[in-house]
A and B are shown apart, each in its own frame.
Chain A
Amino acid sequence: MRHLSYREAMREALREALAANPRVFLMGEDIGKYGGTYAVTKGLLEEFGPERIRDTPLSELGFVGAGIGAALGGMRPIVEVMTVNFSLLSLDQIVNSAAAFRHMSGGQFSVPLVVRIATGAGRQVAAQHSHSLENWYAHVPGLTVLAPATVEDARGMLAGALADPDPVIIFEHVQLYNAEGDLPEPWTTDIHSAAVRRAGRDVSLITYGGSLPKALAAAERLSGEGIEAEVVDLRVLRPLDAPTILASVRKCRRAVVIDEGWRTGSLAAEIVAQIAEQALYDLDAPPVRVCSEEVPIPYAKHMEDAALPQTEKIVAAAKGLIGSEVPA
């Protein structure tokens, strides 16, 4: 068991991949000399050299496209995109090329590409660097979308992504990089299942990524009031692990879905729909969502905080489902 940060765990995973396979290389803005916007790739240029740690021009369309070409040519590129907002420039490459190649070539070509994308708000970098658009990618068949939220997943999920013959998008919430945690040895991670991070019985808090620590804090607060919340970490945003989600909802009979995306058309909306479709008769209250307010994420600190899902909002939503009486 080691104690380390999410950033360090991610860097270890990258270093391990680079050392293990000469066809793995890194590409992205400021990942080399600068060490990465969030310092994830710090030191890797010195260790592996500029051939394998490649700084790119400010052109997501270009360098993600180059990654796809490299993957088609037999390489195992790991492309970093600075924020999900910027990734929209590469959306055409990812949706129209990477995700579609296997299907359009009748299975002759696959694109073993890994794209790491920073996402989320909370750092006062305003509306062009703070959004959570994971669900745009989770909408697209042909992609696997991961959202590691713990040190263990930051350390372990990259290997699974590299082993996948098809494109995998990894979303790293910017507020998680400094989070520290224990890494069990050996760690076991997969890129298929959701995980119950805290067992409970009265309400399911279903979330992922940067909202996981908030949901765990909310569960702790609720426990002090006699409400035992179960916290489900989605981990994999596409394909969703419905059995784990539904098992938790069926047990607790109430669900709060927490998602930093905007409410309308959110991943939370998809999860609520699946609950309604498959577990309606197990519900004791209508499922609710705690999402970001429907505004571009504000710059001012108090405004930004007010716009995002917060522990207090999750606690209030959960208590609203329990009703006038705390369960015995």
Chain B
Amino acid sequence: MIEFKLPSLGADMDQGKLVEWKVKPGDAVKRGQVVAVVDTSKAAVEVEIWQDGTLFEQLVPIGEKVPVGTVLATLLAPGETREQAEQQKRAARPALKPAAAVPAPPPPVAAPMTGAIAQRRPVSPAARKHARELGVDVDTVAGTGPHGAVTVEDVEKAAAAPAPPDRYVEMRKAIAAAMSRSKREIPHYYLSETIPMQRAAEWLARENEKRPVTERILMGALQIKAVALALARVPELNGFWRNGAFEPATGVHIGVAISIRQGGLIPPAIHDVDKKGLPELMRALSDLVARTRAGSLRSSEMSDPTITVTNLGETGVESVFGVIYPPQVALVGFGRMETRPWSEDGKLFTAPLVTASLSGDHRASNGIRGARFLAELRERLQHPEEL
């Protein structure tokens, strides 16, 4: 029997609320399949499963908030039968002791269990169903029914009202926790490099002329791809700092910082950026932005980034020195692209320039390696056709 546990969908996540089961007992599941939707304090995330099998039992009801690591469901391994699973389940339970003359004390689990039931908020069955249909989180809805129960009308009012502020507060708290941890634990060093973008801009303009408007590639995609390729030379920037040691990542999954309404910020990952062609990367980027803002991310996208890229160029700042998202060890920032004086080969002329920056974790890498990375990044952006 395989246990499917609630994964951590980000370093700042310690619990999640089960919003939806995408599969039911008896369904066959495949590695990588989305099986549930879990609400972290940041977003509703589609959670994938990483083993093949057949769903046996769902152990957590919809609407329940559980800590990371909680077994959400059990699966039958390929070839395993229900009977075997039942047997294993029985074996897992403490064996019944022979009847004793003295009555046994009540099991210690009894108290917390009744406690949980007593604390349940009254939500009418119709309201619960309607809330699910409207995508309203009933925990955020004030009840006006008997005994303060949440009614259908309460849900409708909540759905009509702008998104409740506490969601924003929750996300702010999550960001605060992650960023505080970062600045508390990570000894940042910062480097920056001005990168001429003339070749990249001209090449991109030519490329985009050949493409329909909907398939045009943005400079942001080029920058992300260049970061991915540059990392191959400086792998100590791509990975995690865990338990006092650097763990290099097995792929290049770049977290793209995406701002969402009301000041939220989510850095979901684009997987294997180094292996994606530009058109594919652009599609992935557009899709990711749309799904992030719609709140339908997948668990692997939330938990997988091996490095983060932030681009504040649109807002018009020259450069950005970011705070590393733990347990990652580096963050690459791009400022706005601007035409300014530039000299090359003894000539002075104007050219579009962008300031790229690197925030590095000094535990995992040294400044000289960071400098090597930025130099590599600059080089890559001079050869856009190779990206």
Contacts and interface: CB of A to CB of B under 8 A. Distances in A.
Interface of A: 253, 280-286, 320-325, 327-328
Contacts of A286: 146
A285 B129 contact: no
A283 B125 contact: yes
| Residue among B128, B145, B148 with the highest chain A CB neighbour number at 10 A | B145
Contact of B125 (A280, A320, A325, A328): A280
A313 to B, nearest CB: 16
B144 A325 contact: yes
12 contacts: A253-B124, A281-B125, A281-B128, A283-B124, A283-B125, A284-B127, A284-B152, A320-B146, A322-B145, A323-B148, A323-B149, A324-B145
B120 to A, nearest CB: 14
B153 interface: yes
A283 B153 contact: no
Nearest to B124: A284
Contact of B151 (A280, A281, A323, A328): A323
Please report whether the interface of chain B is mostly helix, strand, loop or mixed according to DSSP: helix
A249 to B, nearest CB: 10
A288 to B, nearest CB: 10
Contacts of B143: 323
Interface string B107-132: 00000000000000000111111000
Contacts of A322: 145-146
Nearest to B150: A284
B149 A282 contact: no
Given A321-B146, A324-B144, A325-B144, A282 B126 contact: yes
A324 B144 CA distance: 6
Contacts of A324: 144-145, 148
A281 B144 CA distance: 18
Interface residues of B, number: 16
Nearest to B143: A323
Contacts of A328: 153
Given A323-B144, A324-B144, A325-B144, A281 B149 contact: no
B144 A284 contact: no
B144 A285 contact: no
Nearest to B128: A281
Interface string B131-148: 000000000000111111
Nearest to B155: A284
Contacts of B148: 323-324
A94 to B, nearest CB: 39
Interface of B: 124-129, 143-149, 151-153
Given A253-B152, A284-B151, A284-B152, A323 B146 contact: yes
A323 B125 contact: no
Nearest to A282: B126
B160 to A, nearest CB: 12
Contacts of A321: 145-146
Nearest to A321: B146
Contact of B126 (A283, A320, A323, A325): A283
Contacts of B149: 284-285, 323
Given A323-B145, A323-B146, A281 B153 contact: no
Contacts of B124: 253, 283-285
Given A282-B126, A285-B145, A323-B146, 20 more contacts: A253-B151, A280-B125, A281-B126, A281-B129, A282-B129, A283-B126, A284-B126, A284-B127, A284-B145, A284-B152, A285-B146, A285-B149, A286-B146, A321-B145, A322-B146, A323-B143, A323-B144, A323-B149, A324-B145, A324-B148
A87 to B, nearest CB: 39
A297 B145 CA distance: 34
Given A284-B145, A285-B146, A327 B125 contact: no
| Residue among A280, A284, A285 with the highest chain B CB neighbour number at 10 A | A284
Give 4 nearest A-B pairs by CB, closest first.
A323-B145, A325-B144, A284-B124, A284-B151
B356 to A, nearest CB: 55
Nearest to B146: A323
Nearest to A326: B144
B125 A282 contact: yes
| Residue among B128, B144, B151, B152 with the highest chain A CB neighbour number at 10 A | B151
A77 B153 CA distance: 54
B128 to A, nearest CB: 8
Contacts of B146: 285-286, 320-323
Contacts of B147: 323
A60 to B, nearest CB: 45
A49 to B, nearest CB: 60
A321 B124 CA distance: 11
